[in-house]
Amino acid sequence: MRTVAIVGRPNVGKSALFNRLAGKKISIVHDMPGVTRDRIVATCRQGRFPFQLVDTGGIGAGVDAEFSSQVAAEADIAMETSDLILFVVDAQAGLTPLDAEIARRLRRTSKPLLLVANKMDHPNHAGLSNEFSRLGISPIFAVSAEHGIGFDSLIDRISAILPLSETPEPEDRHALPLKIAIVGRPNVGKSSLTNGILQDDRTLVSPISGTTRDSVDIPYTRGNQEYILIDTAGIRPKTKRSDSVEVFSVMRSESSVERADLCCLVLDASQGVSSQDKRIAGMIRDQAKPCVIVINKIDLISNRVKDKDGIREVLQEIRYDLSFLPYAPLVLLSAKTGEDLDRLFKRIENVRESARRRIGTGPLNRLLTTAMTNHPPALRSGRRFKVLYSTQPEPKGRSPIPIPEIVLFCNDKSLLEDTYRRFLEARIREVEPWEGLPIDLHLRQREARGVARSRGGGSAKTAARSKGRVAEVIGPAEAVSASTSAASAQTRAARKSTAGLPPKPKRRAPARKGPQRKARR
């Protein structure tokens, strides 16, 4: 896919232009200059064919001095690897010496170059772009990223310059790239892990908390498998978020968890599991996402993991603190030294393979029948939760790692308590562990009797036919519940047949004999 890089000085609206072309709010847009630091990649599908966009940090002006050299290096890499460069300037601010310096640098490259004058928000601003003709780059595309003005001509010109890309989109679920979100609190080594996997300084790394601000999507190929690594900003508690930029960064991280196919929760081995780690793990559990727990920085606890007993002790501590994620496998590694990075992808591929496994309808029903017979659920208001039938349907959607869904046809789903739900899930995992995958227990409640009669149901013949169909699907052993339903249907039919008869006369109780009370005078 052809690539277009967006460059310019800080605070000229590069990220707003990037979001407008991508059709999504991906990069953080803020009045504070120097917000964007990493290279952010997205796909634009507004032209005759899709092409890849790369948003870069602002060049020059001494903004964000701690990262200025790294941001400039990222912009240089984006320009070198692109097929077309969009040079963005601020029309309202006018031509600045820094704009002229960047233009001289860009002219020395052999890449096609388009000059985009942004912030032309009003018709009265039409003449503001004429000043930039002194840069010697023509034509000048006057646009407003905020209001979407002037983008048709810009996209047409981009489509005319870029050659047609013949890369088709994959149809097969297993051919889709696997999106892996690398999440955790600040300074646990998320960006270091990303760079260690890529064996390249792709994302900015520093001991300063909050270095990563945007969620960065990075394509990665390992063997014959395609991946998209999503490096996210560190998630701090709400009370400790310093400014609005960090608030937006956390929002991007949370949305990255939602759109990812699998989450890698990164922990600091030297600090153990903190309360914020538990909150992030709870967010992954609530989103029902496949998960692998990465215990990073084991080089800092090398004295504890010298032998198998020490490794077992560390893993037991992590497993105890994150007991509400029992399905997530644990991986010990060091992103700094590259130790055991291969083990991480072995775990990820194990999770992918687990998602393809299924439980047959017959074994699943026998399993649940045995579990509920040996350990029946508690009574609630004189009623007990019952499973009439269960099955695992085919996965829906195109996710490379579909979540296993178990459909339980029950009498009343409000009778199922959370503790008993976890009990049933644990019994299912004894047969099929589904490593790294949550289980979606989907409850379907039996219709009320009045609703069944109004729809013409409830006859003995219908119940008998249902019994035969269930016996054909799940076998005679599982047809016991269907036989019980048929008997109930016959009882309801008998009641219905006698509904029109007159009621029986009530018998009067005989009068009591005894001494009558004398009337008072």
Contacts 24+ apart (CB under 8 A), 387-391: 388/446, 388/481, 388/485, 389/365, 389/470, 389/474, 389/478, 389/481, 389/482, 390/361, 390/364, 390/365, 391/361, 391/364
Per-residue pLDDT, 358:
92
- State the residue for tokens 């606890």: 301
Domain spans of the chain, in order of start:
3-161, 173-354, 361-494
Per-residue pLDDT, 26:
77
- The count of residues in the chain is 521
pLDDT, tens digit, for every residue of 153-165? 999 999 888 866 5
pLDDT, tens digit, for every residue of 189-245? 888 898 888 887 766 555 555 556 567 788 888 888 889 898 888 888 877 766 666
Per-residue pLDDT, 466:
47
Could you tell me which residues are beta bridge partners of residue 410?
Answer: 387, 445
Flag the least confident range among 285-289, 303-307, 357-361: 303-307
Contact yes or no for 84/162 (Cβ under 8 A) = yes
* Residue 206: CA count within 13 A, CB half-sphere: 15
More confident of the two residues 56 and 243: 56
Residue 354 banded pLDDT, cuts 50, 70, 90: very high
Per-residue pLDDT, 427:
94
Nearest CA among 256, 407, 431 for reference residue 354: 431
Residues 6 or more apart whose Cβ sits within 8 Å of residue 386: 372, 410, 411
Range 128-146 average pLDDT: 88
Residues 6 or more apart whose Cβ sits within 8 Å of residue 423: 371, 375
Per-residue pLDDT, 460:
47
One of 3.40.800.20, 1.10.10.10, 3.40.50.300, 3.40.50.11810 is the CATH number of 173-354, namely 3.40.50.300
DSSP sequence for 177-195: PEEEEEE-STTSSHHHHHH
Q: How far is CA 204 from the centre of its chain?
A: 24
Residue 468 banded pLDDT, cuts 50, 70, 90: very low
Contacts 24+ apart (CB under 8 A), 62-66: 63/10, 63/33, 63/34, 64/33, 64/34, 64/37, 66/206, 66/208
Domain 361-494 has CATH 2.60.120.560: no
Percentage of the chain modeled with pLDDT above 90: 34
Per-residue pLDDT, 442:
92
Domains 173-354 and 361-494 share a fold: no
Residue 129 banded pLDDT, cuts 50, 70, 90: confident
Asked whether the predicted pLDDT for residue 428 surpasses 90, the reply is yes
Q: Name the CATH architecture for the domain at 3-161.
A: 3-Layer(aba) Sandwich (3.40)
- State the residue for tokens 């399993």: 367
**What CA–CA distance (Å, rounded) separates 85 from 14?**
12
**What CA–CA distance (Å, rounded) separates 27 from 18?**
7
pLDDT, tens digit, for every residue of 167-177? 555 555 456 78
